[in-house]
Amino acid sequence: MIPPLQPARPKSAATPAGATATGRGAADEPAADTQDQATPQAQQVAFNFQLQERAELLREFNELRALQMEQLKRDDEVVKKWIEMI
């Protein structure tokens, strides 16, 4: 996975207080925790969306199946009437 881009910062001659050898300061540590929490949260949102979409598709399928059954019953009645006419 590609890490998110860091915001552009103006270059300065002085190093910020609390900077480490990796170039991250003490203030950057909460950002790492936020990023770790964002991934599961994004997965949860995507999962919930997929569940809602699937539930809606199943509801539509059930409605269409109910309509189809009603139509088949009507067709059977029409066929029975045609047979009676003969």
Quick check: is 51 in a domain? yes
Taking a C-beta distance cutoff of 8 angstroms, is the pair 18, 49 a contact? no
**Of residues 14 and 77, which shows the higher confidence score?**
77
What is the structure's pLDDT at 81? 93
What is the structure's pLDDT at 37? 73
Quick check: is 26 in a domain? no
Q: How far apart are CA 52 and CA 31, in angstroms?
A: 31
State the total domains in the chain.
1
Contacts 24+ apart (CB under 8 A), 66-73: none
Quick check: is 71 in a domain? yes
Q: Which tens digit of pLDDT belongs to each residue from 7-64? A: 555 555 444 555 454 555 555 556 656 667 778 888 999 999 999 999 999 999 999 9
Evaluate if pTM is beyond 0.85.
Answer: no
Buried b (16+ CB within 10 A) or exposed e, 2-39: eeeeeeeeeeeeeeeeeeeeeeeeeeeeeeeeeeeeee
Quick check: is 20 in a domain? no
- Domain with 73, as residue range(s), is 38-85
